[in-house]
Structure 1
Amino acid sequence: MAALDQSEPAAERRLRPPSLLLVLAEVRALIEFNSSILLSPLLMRAPRGDGHPVLALPGFLASDLSMAPMRRYLKQLGYDAHAWKMGRNLGGIASRRNALKKLLTDIHDATGRKVTIVGWSLGGIYARDLALQMPEMVRSVITLGSPFANDVRATNATRLYEALSGETVDDNSELTRAIAGDLPVPVTSIYSRTDGIVNWRTSLLRPSDTAENIEVHLASHIGLGVNAAALWAVADRLAQAEGEFCPFDRSGPFAIAYGSPVHAQSGQVA
């Protein structure tokens, strides 16, 4: 389930950040949030799992407040949802690693169960790194609009990330390649082609028996974590039994919101 082929010449893999038009269209996140509230009775019909612990990691510049709607939804479905409790996420994949490993260890030790990690944008990159470092504690990983594959500089937040975190995305190419590659746990990448912050191709992994991409039509980057169709997909993936993985069923109440599976390398419909 590796991501895009890292052996391709850099010039051929060069991607551009989303256009200014898509950036301006991010204001629709408010509509996505309000829609999820209106659709909450429908969302509560989502499959329910075994109530295992779920750690929600916010995106760049966001705090636990951004993940509060998702945590609340997951708690209503019976899951043991946890916040990251580290304030505003100002970045630093390497510098945050030890604190995140401790947080994951604390949750695992307190519950005695493996933890699913749901990460939004940069939070998803943290989640993938944790799964590589501590697979014995991670049940699965779900990312939302996370730029981990191919040309990871193709975002409209790269320069600000580097300025605030003190790290550049090229600081540790070995770490970047590892995060973009295979994970030892089941993984789902949820993304949107209308993402105004992250080039959607950087969120694609190559599907396998334990890895998949789920496209949500017309979702924004800022609204992806509160988008009703994305929330349904997260709940559906969490409901899988530990150690089992089956492809996401794109039927159901939000069927129209999902795109067909795509090949990671080409970005074409499978």
Structure 2
Amino acid sequence: MDAITPPPLHLSLSETWRAGIEITELACKIATLQNTPKGDGHPVITLPGYGGADGCMALLRYFLKSRGYQSYGWGLGRNMPPNRITSLAEMNAFQADLLLRLNRQIDTLFESTQQKISLIGWSLGGNYANLLAQSRPDAIRQVITLGTPYGDPRGTSAWKILKCLNRGKQSDASQNTEAWAHANNGQREVPTTVIYSPIDGIVSPQIAKLSTKNTENIAINSSHIGFTANAKVYRIIAEVLARPLHPM
């Protein structure tokens, strides 16, 4: 197996510039997206990436409403620990706490709508969606993830940056990265669509795919930041949400 490496520096440095182009393209193509399939009205929750909040995916929720879905933010504020994270174990503990809170959100929405819920998770938010898909087939209809780091987190350009910012002293070799990848690749009953980008500047395509039953990987050229404002991604999301469910 090839060594896990983060994306090339030129892709990381051009993230903001490329995302700006994608937002402009979305504005130009918004009318053509009205020919995407209409949905059945079931609820969809969006889960933001690390450091993001509900505002990061507001455009996507607006689009989902235009397709006839009940779209909701996750309602849990900013996706960032209140204290410094100095190890992957601490990150796992933060994730476990968020999953408990998300389960309560899902229970409330499922009870009020009496409909299974689809989840769309961007980046780290996709990890939450993926883990929920494994544990909540009773309430979750399907999962779509955007640029999610499923494998060894050292395959992200954010790994060393966050380590420096949080002044982590634990060596890379001592971090249990295998446990992270194993948890994210668990079996699930819920159909899961993985949208990843070969030119993602944050998450390497090496770690952005799943290979388990009931999963589908779709490659699309997008910046990492631009996943939530990419017209091609929107089209894929509309088509995936509207199609009849069947085992992949």
Q: Fold match, TM over 0.5?
A: yes
Code of the aligned partner of 2:154: R
Report 1:31-70 matches (<5 A): 31-70=21-60
Determine the C-alpha separation between the residues in 2 that align with 1:224 and 1:32: 9
Identity %: 37
Q: What TM-score do you get using the length of structure 2 for normalisation?
A: 0.85
Residue 135 of structure 1: SS of its match in structure 2?
A: coil
**1:126 matched residue in structure 2:** 128
Determine the C-alpha separation between the residues in 2 that align with 1:112 and 1:159: 44
**1:206 matched residue in structure 2:** 211
Residue 44 of structure 2: SS of its match in structure 1?
A: strand
| Equivalent pair of 2:185/2:212 in contact (CA under 8 Å) | no
**1:222 matched residue in structure 2:** 225
- 2:8 matched to 1:19? yes
Q: What TM-score do you get using the length of structure 1 for normalisation?
A: 0.78
**1:138 matched residue in structure 2:** 140
Unaligned ranges ≥5, structure 1: 1-11, 247-270
**1:186 matched residue in structure 2:** 191
**1:239 matched residue in structure 2:** 242
Determine the C-alpha separation between the residues in 1 that align with 2:159 and 2:189: 27
**TM-aligned CA distance change 1:230 to 1:245, over 3 Å:** farther
**TM-aligned CA distance change 1:105 to 1:13, over 3 Å:** farther
Residue 207 of structure 2: SS of its match in structure 1?
A: helix
**2:73 matched residue in structure 1:** 83
Residue 153 of structure 2: SS of its match in structure 1?
A: coil
Determine the C-alpha separation between the residues in 2 that align with 1:64 and 1:221: 17
Spell out, residue by residue over 1:23-58, the C-alpha distance to the aligned partner (whole angstroms, 9 max, x if none): 111121011012111101111110122111001000
Determine the C-alpha separation between the residues in 2 that align with 1:171 and 1:245: 32
Residue 60 of structure 2: SS of its match in structure 1?
A: helix
Determine the C-alpha separation between the residues in 2 that align with 1:127 and 1:72: 20
Residue 182 of structure 2: SS of its match in structure 1?
A: helix
Code of the aligned partner of 1:101: N
Instruction: Kindly state the Cα deviation for residue 207 of structure 1 after the two structures are TM-superposed.
Output: 6.9
**1:102 matched residue in structure 2:** 104
Q: CA RMSD in A?
A: 2.2
Instruction: Kindly state the Cα deviation for residue 159 of structure 1 after the two structures are TM-superposed.
Output: 4.3
| Equivalent pair of 1:58/1:121 in contact (CA under 8 Å) | yes
Selected match of 2:116 from 114, 125, 145: 114
**2:157 matched residue in structure 1:** 156
Instruction: Kindly state the Cα deviation for residue 153 of structure 1 after the two structures are TM-superposed.
Output: 2.1
